[in-house]
Amino acid sequence: MSQNIPKPDRERAKKLRKVIRRHRYLYHVLDRQEISDEALDSLKHELSELERRFPKLITSDSPTQRVGGKPLDKFSKVRHTVRQWSFNDAFSEEEIREFDKRVRRMLLKELGRPSKIEYTCELKIDGFKTILTYKSGVLRVATTRGDGVIGEDVTQNVRTIESIPLRLERDIDVVVEGEIWMGKKAFAQLNKKRKKEGEPQFANPRNVAAGSIRQLDPKVAASRKLDSFIYDLASASVTLPQTQFKELKLLQELGFKVNPHFHLCKNIKEVISFWKSWARKRERQDYWIDGIVVKLNERTMQEKLGYTGKAPRYAIALKFPAEEVTTVVEDIVVQVGRTGALTPVAHLRPVTVAGSTVSRATLHNESEVHRLDVRTGDTVIIRKAGDIIPEVVEVLKDLRTGKEKKFTMPTACPACGGKVKKEVIGGKEGESAAHYCTNKNCFAQELEHIAHFVSKKAMNIDGMGEKVVAQLMNEGLIRDVADIYELKTGDLAALERFGERSAENLVEAIEKSKSVPLAKFLFGLGIRHVGIETAHLIAGNVAHITGGKEVRNVNDMARQFPKVSAQDWASVDGIGTTVAESLVEWFNNKNNTKLLKRLHSLGVTIVIPLKLHATRSKLQGKTFVLTGSLSSLSRDEAGEKIRAFGGKVSSSVSSQTDFVVAGGKPGSKYAQAKKLGVRIVNEQKFLKMLEE
């Protein structure tokens, strides 16, 4: 086949690509159509024939290459160039007003003056997050969110989505974030087809979107009629807009499909009005909406507030009121948690809520059971709090028959038979009572504790779910979390459902988990009241908490943390008295410190954030702007180091900028810094500052 492509054919292919891209954008992004589907198909067919005749005409951004990949054996892992975050949630008018007050307090502290605050509100689409990387305007990589640091490469599947451009309107480098979703009509058609073919139906469009993007064969994703909305410009080779509102406009100009219903609100009252209006009319859209996302409009303010361990401080997801349904309580069963807490759980007649089937709902504690007066056999209203956790909100007592059975908390642990202790929270009998199993060797407690320790958010031991933990405990191979690190392939290979290969894989995963960030390790210990956010707070303030004492490893934790008083723990902003007392109790328990020392001896190491050793860093509290290319590290890596040493990174130069780090070929920021008299340092000087 000749590769000497005649000039007319080359020019024709180029024009066809341009015209097809334009009509794709009109149809899939702007919802407009200037030519018929048949005419567009004819253009695509002509381009396909040209590329068949002259394969060298094929480009990675050609419209014919949307479904060009072969089925994969597995997805490869990709480290994100920009850290991925999730949003904190608000569920009421009171909570969003509290968010506004918190933002104002923090900005007053940062800027030293009251600020005029505006918010950009966007619809929160119930879909599947994706991160897209473009180089010189061409789509190179599409990934899943993963754990926020590492995701999976799903480029082949994402390329099948017509609303996602393979080439941008400008030849720039960008990383964008967005939501992949399936429309309600397409979802209904898919389920209708599956029912006809005798296949199980999907619960909701979000599950379909997530499942489709994680199919190894891109042809499956292509058949699902997926769509997208892009909402965030995470990084770019051009200057980022100074407001969220302008950022969304720029995304549209680049050729992305942006949800058109974003709105600039001048105050929190307008935010609440926007939220309420969309709660009423959300069902009119073809996509599922579960709330709105509220972001500070000004980028400089966003950068001042920064992030917590998992979420931005400048933004929040304001959820719509949860969907409520009625069902029948078939039984009330007590579960034993990792801290020994006994929790009554309502076993329900299965019912669909917000697109998923629910058969259980927590009743929290005895006080809640009494408050609701819920009994076995009752008809109840349940809802998903934040569309996540099912809970009983009301008993329909008018529907009682007289056969309903009252519930009482057991006096003995249902798992081990140990004595149950009742603790009253708040100091008044009946105000809120929690029950705990007093048997420290309770099988159920240790099972939950170990399962928590190995979970993804903690030590992340792949292949060691709760069933495997229970099996290992039943076989007497593990009694506590330290025993995990003494397991050998031979211990596992002979077990039921295990083989040589799966045993090797688990031992390999255990070995891999030995090096872990301090926050994940702290969270994995299962200390009462210490969630992942508190763990990050502790990890970021160890030097402050210990009065400057070194904590380099697990053994140091065992030595230093028992010396920390409740007042010292509580001196960290975000750690309250209850959490502080719990930390004191846990680290002063000799069995716990013995466990830490044993984990250390078995090779478990903690990765300490750099800033733990930098309380007197010259970078502390300084604002940096990076411009130009750095030779020894990427700008993202430089930014991480600045933050680790207590500094801040801004995307624009202002009078509040302390340093501009100028690499090769610096842009307009360099000139702006000179104009404002901001100190400019080269890469060598910057590296020296880090060393100092």
pLDDT tens sequence across 83-132: 888 888 888 888 999 999 999 999 998 888 878 899 999 999 988 999 99
- Whole-angstrom distance between the N-terminal and C-terminal Cα of the chain? 63
Alpha helices in 223-264 (DSSP H): 244-254
What is the model's pLDDT at position 460? 93
List, as one string, the DSSP characters of 463-509.
Answer: T--HHHHHHHHHTTS-SSGGGGGG--HHHHHTSTT--HHHHHHHHHH
CA pair distance 365, 342, nearest whole angstrom: 8
* DSSP code for 18: H
Phi, psi (degrees; rounded to nearest 5) at 176: -125, 160
Q: How far apart are CA 291 and CA 293, in angstroms?
A: 7
Pairwise CA distance, residues 126 & 290, whole Å: 6
Burial 204-237 (b: 16+ CB within 10 A, else e): bbbebbeebbebeebebbbebbbbbbbbbbbebe
What is the per-residue pLDDT for 245?
Answer: 96
> What's the rounded Cα separation, in Å, for the pair 176 and 159?
15
Determine the Cα–Cα distance for residues 80 and 334; give it in Å rounded to an integer: 42
Report which residue type is found at 301.
M
Cβ burial of 311 (10 Å; 0-12, 13-18, 19+) is middle
Question: Which candidate, 662, 665, 692, places its Cα nearest to that of 679?
Answer: 662
pTM score, whole prediction: 0.54
Among the listed residues 15, 56, 124, 310, the single catalytic one is 124
Closest CA to 228 of 159, 260, 181, 284: 181
Active site residue 590: no
Q: What is the pLDDT of residues 488-514, one digit of tens each?
A: 887 787 688 888 888 899 999 999 999
Q: In the chain, which stretches have pLDDT less than 50?
A: 1-2, 386-387, 427-430, 611-615
Q: Which two tokens mark 113?
A: 């003056």
Contact 9, 54 (CB under 8 A): yes
Tokens 């048949």, residue located: 38
Residue 53: the pLDDT is 86
Are 433 and 367 in contact by the 8 Å Cβ rule? The answer is yes
Give the Cα separation of 546 and 531 in Å (integer): 20
Counted residue by residue, the chain has a size of 692
**Per-residue pLDDT, 614:** 44
Tokens 């979420």 correspond to 311
Q: What is the pLDDT of residue 391?
A: 84
Instruction: Find, among 552, 518, 549, the residue nearest to 534 by Cα.
Output: 518
